Structure 1
């Protein structure tokens, strides 16, 4: 069972890198992929994506957008099917995705045909598996995000809004998020001042320390401006391949507060808590460890995931 968890964990990391380019996707200097003119209801939209020109159908209803379901749900759209790796899904979205069938992460052709999509959306060219781009185009119009647009969750949401004729909804959601973040930032600053925090993800028996620009760290250090401990400051910028950190190396983690993202049953969690290294951490000694039993919103970038993460951070730090 432990081997299975380790294998699934490694697979999830690899596939998430393919789908979301969650680290610091480099900006290629180009504008977003969708034309400046908004899509009008009942009108097709011609756009340029990572592969060339695409005609997005008017009023598409059945959307397949693997690992981009956060943006769909934020805009009030349920996908025709939801991303999965075996039984693994985006846990934090399951209330919104109730009744939505799963589809393999690599969108097998037969499953894709069975989903009967009006529009297929991929997070990047690398997310299209086995050179099957032309096959998908025969099933439904297929839009592929440019890497830089996909890596920036705000751009991702804006483009999704344009593709689906929901520009205003996207703009309103972003404005609401920014207002919420501003308020939360002020509360946290008043509560902890310049104290530092860090995020550690445990899966299987491996440990992943968030750099300052990966997934939920963008909320913690970016939107909420919580101070970074020296160890985080000294980490290199996040890369697509996320490497685990040795338990022994965590001895240098000098954070005042520690967010521990891990399902309770992970083997590495018990090992961590029993170690002298963990017991010697500043955050542990100070009683400032906050366990997040559902790590799914912490290990993805999206409006809904970020709002959940923000709520958890505020609840932990503001007393």
Structure 2
């Protein structure tokens, strides 16, 4: 009886010891797993240097992003901002409203109080001017703030790649650029068969002035670089000295416009037919041949990005290629 009792006691002690060892093992395993998780989170939080030389600690998975006037890039990468660029309360990037219609507006100059009210966890600024006069320091107190810089903002592909890097979506940015370039190449071949070496220009017509696009910015890059259309001498001369995306053209210069095709953004408040009746317009080759195509301020012609430029390509094809 004593032998049996001793065996039972020994068995009970062994079982208790096994439970303790198992519990310690689970605790160690859980502790190790937590350490790995923390390590992964730390690894995902990257420190990037922006265009101003600021070291920015970018959160691993930002959920509330303000990137005013960079919304084209965000949407291209599958990201929606917490607020969208606007001017004078109503003006927005109309061509993006199929995806941004429900997104609240924020003034284009990003007032500190407005930014703070949206509680962003990441702020991306296009140019250094938006961070000037102490604004960067103010924004940085709200959330990590990254400045892309003018060098990249004048090249939508580089700007998209920069935004992609900040958001950890470098691959998606590269794929979007490749898809766009393929679309442009296919369109270029179609247009070559129809237009050949004839010239084209893009104009922005307002109540007070006429602006011609720069040959290396905005829709100018689409027409001349991506689609391979020939550049009128008038556009070439203005682009040499003009510094903006769109540069005003005097009526004397406009009278010399040697474009066979015109793509105009009409903000004058009159019809295309009324514009064409002006004697100066009437002497332009594109007008004589009825090769004038009109778009309103809902279109993407005043903007740049994979979405904007893709829509421009669609506009050119639907206008010219019958």
TM over 0.5: yes
Please name the residue that 1:168 is paired with: 171
Whether the 8 Å contact between 1:206 and 1:268 is mirrored in structure 2 is no
CA–CA separation in structure 2 for the residues paired with 1:214 and 1:274: 30
Q: Residue in 2 aligned with 1:55? A: 57
Shift of 1:212: 1.1
Q: Of 75, 80, 83, which residue of structure 2 is paired with 1:81?
A: 83
Deviates more, 1:58-67 or 1:269-278: 269-278
RMSD: 2.1
Instruction: Tell me which residue corresponds to 1:30.
Output: none
CA deviation digits over 1:84-104, x for unaligned, max 9?
111111111111102100001
Q: State the number of aligned residues.
A: 280
Q: Which residue of 2 aligns with 1:153?
A: 156
Change (3 A) 1:205 1:266: farther
Secondary structure class of the residue paired with 1:214: coil
The question of 1:45 aligning with 2:46 is answered yes
* Aligned equivalent of 1:252: 256
Change (3 A) 1:309 1:57: same
Distance in structure 2 (CA, Å) of the matches to 1:89 and 1:255: 31
Contact map agreement 2:215 2:239 (CA 8 A) in 1:
no
Residue 143 of structure 1 aligns to a residue whose secondary structure is strand
CA distance in 1, matches of 2:55, 2:180: 32
1:202–1:268 CA contact under 8 A, matched in 2:
no
Normalised TM-score (structure 2): 0.82
Inter-partner Cα distance in structure 2 for 1:243 and 1:194: 24
Deviations 1:36-73 (A, max 9, x none): xxx99971111111222111111001110111110001
Higher helix share: 2
Which residue of the partner structure matches residue 142 of structure 2? Answer: 139
Distance 1:40 1:146 in 2: 28
Q: What is the deviation of 1:271?
A: 6.7
Aligned to 2:243: 239
TM-score by length of 1: 0.82
Q: Secondary structure at the match of 1:96?
A: helix
> How many angstroms does 1:152 deviate by?
1.2
Deviation for aligned residue 1:176: 0.5
Unaligned runs of 5+ in 1: 1-38
Per-residue deviation, 1:121: 0.5
Structure 2 alignment gaps of length 5 or more: 1-39
Q: Which has the larger radius of gyration?
A: 2
Structure 1: 4+ residue segments shifted above 6 A: 39-42, 268-271
Distance 1:269 1:214, change over 3 A: farther
Residue by residue over 1:172-201, the C-alpha shift from the partner in whole angstroms, topping out at 9 and shown as x without a partner, is 111110110110000000111111111110
Q: Which has the higher contact order (CA 8 A, sep 6+)?
A: 1
**C-alpha contact (below 8 Å) 1:184/1:314 kept by paired residues:** yes
Question: Distance in 2 between the 1:190 and 1:254 partners?
Answer: 21
Give yes or no for the alignment of 1:224 onto 2:210. no
